[in-house]
Amino acid sequence: MTERIITAQPLTAAAFAPFGTLIDTMQVAPRPMNAGMARRFHDLAAIEVTGEDARVVVGLVQAQPYPLPLRLNLVERHPLGAQAFVPLNAAPFLVMVCPDEAGSPGIPQAFVTAPHQGVCYAPNIWHGVLTPFGAAQDFVVIDRGGPGLNLEEHLFEAPWTVHLPER
C-alpha cells in the first residue's frame, strides 16, 4: 500500500476559512478596557450552537504531545455546534481538517499554528483531535453543551502520515 502523506502548512486565516475561524490577536485591533490597564481582542470567533437546551460551555484541556510524524487515522465533527481551541502558551500545535464529501471526510489538510494562534471549527467540520507536539500544552476549549448527539467519528481505512514543513 502506498503511504498517504500530508505536509502541514502554516496556518492562515484564508487557508482555514472553509473550515472555521482563525483565532489570532494579530488579525484584530485591540480596544482598551479597565481604564486603559487592559486590551480586549473582541469577537475573535462565533461559537454557534443549535438544539434544544443547547448552551456554550468553556473548559480547560491539558493535552499530551503526539509523536511526529503523526499517524492520522481518526477525524471527528460536531454537527450541533462550533468548537474553539485557544492555547494558553506560545507553543505551536497541529490542526487537521477535511472537506466534507457526501457525509464523509475528504482528503485531509494539515496546518501548524503560529505562536498564540487558536482555531474555531465551524459546526459539522471534520477535524483531527487536539494535537500538540514537542511538549504538553493547555487549552481553553469553548464548545456546545446540552442534550443531543454532537459527536461523529470517522476512522480512515488507511492512515495518513502528517509531517511538519521543512524549515
Find the Cα–Cα–Cα–Cα dihedral 104, 107, 112, 116, rounded to 10°. -30
Are 138 and 90 spatial neighbours (Cβ–Cβ below 8 Å)?
no
Q: What is the pLDDT of residues 55-106, one digit of tens each?
A: 999 999 999 999 999 999 999 999 999 999 999 999 999 999 999 999 999 9
Phi first, then psi: give them for residue 133, nearest 5 degrees: -140, 155
Which pTM does this prediction carry?
0.93
**Grid cell locating 140:** 481553553
CATH code of 4-163, in short, is 2.60.120.480
What pLDDT, on the 0 to 100 scale, is given for residue 1?
Answer: 65
